[in-house]
């Protein structure tokens, strides 16, 4: 089914792209391969030193003492 990103309920464009790949896979094995590729890529990204899932603070950090 062709659902535009804005209506898809996906949490990000990366999520949308992955779901579309899985939906359009010709076989269950191909769908599994897409998911495994994403898992490998995420593991690599998360294992890098200095990785943060949160971007820089929009304002300077303050001490609340």
Residue 21's pLDDT is: 94
Assess if residue 27 is contained within a domain.
yes
Q: Is residue 61 part of a domain?
A: no
DSSP 8-class letter at 48: S
Q: How far apart are CA 49 and CA 40, in angstroms?
A: 16
In a domain, 20, yes or no: yes
In a domain, 1, yes or no: no
Q: Is residue 62 part of a domain?
A: no
The structural domain count of the chain equals 1
Per-residue pLDDT band at 58 (split at 50, 70, 90): low
Say if 65 falls within a structural domain: no
- Residue 11: what pLDDT? 84
Tell me: the pLDDT tens digits for 24-56?
999 999 999 999 999 999 888 888 887 665 555
pTM, two decimal places: 0.65
Q: What is the pLDDT of residue 8?
A: 82
Give the per-residue pLDDT at 38. Answer: 92
Tell me if 34 sits within 8 A of 22, measured CB to CB.
Answer: yes
At 59, list the tokens.
């304002």
- The reply to whether 43 falls in a domain is yes
Domain that holds residue 39: 9-47
């Amino acid at each position: 089914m062709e659902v535009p990103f804005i209506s898809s309920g996906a949490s990000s464009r990366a999520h949308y792209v992955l779901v579309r790949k899985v939906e359009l896979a010709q076989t269950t094995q191909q769908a599994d391969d897409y998911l495994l590729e994403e898992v490998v890529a995420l593991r690599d990204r998360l294992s890098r030193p200095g990785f943060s899932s949160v971007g820089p603070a929009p304002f300077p950090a303050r001490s609340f003492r």
